[in-house]
Structure 1
Amino acid sequence: MKKRRLGNSDLFVSELGLGCMSLRMDEGKSRTIIEAALEEGINYFDTADLYDYGENEQLVGKALKHVRDKVIIATKVGNKWTDKKNGWSWDPSKQYIKEAVKKSLRRLNTDYLDLYQLHGGTIDDPMTETIEAFEELKEEGYIRFYGISSIRPNVIRKYVKKSSISAVMMQYSILDRRAEEEILPLLQKNNISVLSRGSLAKGLLTERLIAKASPNVKENGYLNYCYNELTEILPKLKEALSSERTFTEVALQYNLANPTVASVIAGASSADQVRENARAIKAKPLTVEEVEWIKNNTKANRYEQHR
């Protein structure tokens, strides 16, 4: 599998990364999924201390221990579980970040993190303090590089200006093009990569198309597409673009067509799903004309909220 450089770092990440949130608390099944990812050439594994009260990190760390020097492990920080584990609060403070990283390292059974990400962020955060925490962790050798996981344009702009982030994880797909005009050019100009998530739009951008629509999508639509619009645009896209490829290929290759995207992060509930996603990533890239056709026939969404 091809690799791309992650922003200003010296990390080269596979064009498909495994989003580990979808792993269930079944060590055998999780290991099978991770082993399938390794066999396909995936070297980027993304988890968070929030997932399954930190047990997700333990699963990932155990499954990757034998290949630790060959993989890139990323986790996230900022959401703090309550003592009763019935909810969480937001804490981007320097003190919490520097405490949390050591717990993540123990759970992942590693001496360092390749990428440490702020798991959210608002414009009211103590950003200078947060950045100081990440920079100190780099100096101390606990992390190699850091980034943020956010779709808030104002937050992203401030981190671009004030920090040395290497990556921004954000939702991006054919049906969610909000970042294209406002954020992606800024990140490209500053040599910061995108780790894209939500690329299949909750299953809408797969072979099953509208059949994957949840009750919520049927009632409320998806972003600024109403359900009736989806029933029109999705078959139209498939007919025009996927006569010689799966629609999953079209969806994932659309992300890779943007040079700012370093890796498409996709979850998987089975080894077969990992392999299907890998085939899509390894497929023939979209042509310039195909990318333009998609842009001309879908909405150039804009961020109206999340400021």
Structure 2
Amino acid sequence: MKKNQLGQSNLHVSEIGFGTMSIGTDQEMGISLIHEAIDNGVNFIDTADLYEFGLNEEIVGKALQDRRDSVILSSKGGNHWENGKEGWFWDPSKKHIKDACKQSLKRLKTDYLDLYQLHGGTIEDPIDETIQAFEELKQEGLIREYGISSIRPNVIREYVQRSSIASVMMQYSILDRRPEEEMLDLLHKHNISVIARGPLAKGMLTDRFEDKVKDQGFLTHSKDEVLEMARKLSDIQGNDRNMTQTALRYTLAHPAVATAIPGASKSEQLLSNLTAQNSPELTQNEINDIQSISKAITYDKHR
């Protein structure tokens, strides 16, 4: 599979990665999916301490016991929770970030993370303190690179100016084109890569869109708007791609995007996603056609 450099780092990630949030709690099934992804060319595996309150990381760790050197492993922290207590709270303090990273390493059964990301962030955070935590983790050899997982433009701009992040994970798809207006060109200019999550919009950008579209629609798109857009997209994709491939190719078309990480809870979903690696890239005319039928939206509440 094609690999792209992550920011200015020495990490090169498969253009289609695997987000493990949707693998569930069945250990055998989760390990099988992760192995299948790796066997089909995926080298970027993303998890987080919050997923199933640590259980997801434990499953990932067991899956990678004999394959750790063949993957770029990423996790995320910043959500503070304790076993036996209900709920969690946001904690971007240096102490928590460093402690959380070390706990993730234990669950993942590894000595280091290739990428460690802040799992959220607000403009009121002690950003310099948070950055210092990541820099210290890097100096200590516990992480190779760091980034943030955020859709807040004001927060992202602060990290662009004040830190040496390699990447920003954000939701980006044909149905969520918010990053195009404010973020993608800025990050590309600063050699910071985008990790695109949600590229298939919860299945609404697959050939099963009729079954996947919810009554509430998606973001500011009504149900009818999503259905109309998906039907028009079916006409654009032609004979060379199915809708899944078209949606993933659209997300990967911007040079800022290093990898797209669709989730999968079943083998058939995973394999369907991975067929995009062999599908032709979109032409500029096809990109223009897709943008003409999809509504550009902006960040409103999340700043």
Same fold by TM (over 0.5)? Answer: yes
- Given that residues 48 and 75 in structure 1 are in contact (C-alpha distance below 8 angstroms), is that contact kept between their aligned partners in structure 2? yes
Query: What amino acid is aligned across from residue 70 of structure 1 in structure 2?
Result: S
Corresponding residue of 1:158: 158
**2:248 is the alignment partner of 1:252:** yes
**2:277 is the alignment partner of 1:281:** yes
- Cα distance between partner residues in 2 of 1:91 and 1:74: 19
**2:178 is the alignment partner of 1:178:** yes
- Cα distance between partner residues in 1 of 2:43 and 2:124: 35
SS in 2 for 1:65: coil
1:281: Cα distance to partner?
2.9
- Given that residues 252 and 281 in structure 1 are in contact (C-alpha distance below 8 angstroms), is that contact kept between their aligned partners in structure 2? no
- Given that residues 203 and 212 in structure 1 are in contact (C-alpha distance below 8 angstroms), is that contact kept between their aligned partners in structure 2? yes
Structure 2 gap ranges (5+):
none
1:242: Cα distance to partner?
3.8
SS in 1 for 2:235: helix
Over the matched positions of the two proteins, sequence identity in percent amounts to 55
**CA 1:85–1:283 in structure 2 vs 1: closer, same or farther (change >3 Å)?**
farther
- Given that residues 53 and 85 in structure 1 are in contact (C-alpha distance below 8 angstroms), is that contact kept between their aligned partners in structure 2? no
Corresponding residue of 2:195: 195
- Cα distance between partner residues in 2 of 1:112 and 1:221: 40
- Given that residues 210 and 230 in structure 1 are in contact (C-alpha distance below 8 angstroms), is that contact kept between their aligned partners in structure 2? no
Corresponding residue of 2:67: 67
Corresponding residue of 2:262: 266
**2:232 is the alignment partner of 1:236:** yes
Query: What amino acid is aligned across from residue 23 of structure 1 in structure 2?
Result: I
My pick for the range that moved more, 239-248 or 60-69, is: 239-248
- Cα distance between partner residues in 2 of 1:112 and 1:247: 37
Query: What amino acid is aligned across from residue 157 of structure 1 in structure 2?
Result: R
1:84: Cα distance to partner?
3.0
1:12: Cα distance to partner?
0.3
**CA 1:204–1:195 in structure 2 vs 1: closer, same or farther (change >3 Å)?**
same
Corresponding residue of 1:99: 99
- Cα distance between partner residues in 2 of 1:105 and 1:250: 36
Q: Please give the TM-score of this superposition, normalised by the length of structure 1.
A: 0.96
- Cα distance between partner residues in 1 of 2:270 and 2:202: 16
Corresponding residue of 1:135: 135
Query: What amino acid is aligned across from residue 236 of structure 1 in structure 2?
Result: K
1:197: Cα distance to partner?
0.6
Superposed CA offset, 1:54-93 (max 9, x none): 1111110111121111111100000012443421100000
Matched positions, count: 303
My pick for the range that moved more, 228-237 or 290-299, is: 228-237
**2:14 is the alignment partner of 1:14:** yes
- Given that residues 242 and 250 in structure 1 are in contact (C-alpha distance below 8 angstroms), is that contact kept between their aligned partners in structure 2? no
- Cα distance between partner residues in 2 of 1:295 and 1:240: 11
**CA 1:11–1:208 in structure 2 vs 1: closer, same or farther (change >3 Å)?**
same
Q: Which of 217, 222, 229 lines up with 1:226 in the alignment?
A: 222
Query: What amino acid is aligned across from residue 37 of structure 1 in structure 2?
Result: A
My pick for the range that moved more, 156-165 or 285-294, is: 285-294
Corresponding residue of 2:299: 303
- Cα distance between partner residues in 2 of 1:75 and 1:14: 16
- Given that residues 73 and 114 in structure 1 are in contact (C-alpha distance below 8 angstroms), is that contact kept between their aligned partners in structure 2? yes
1:209: Cα distance to partner?
1.7
1:210: Cα distance to partner?
3.0
- Cα distance between partner residues in 1 of 2:54 and 2:125: 24
1:187: Cα distance to partner?
0.1
- Given that residues 18 and 46 in structure 2 are in contact (C-alpha distance below 8 angstroms), is that contact kept between their aligned partners in structure 1? yes
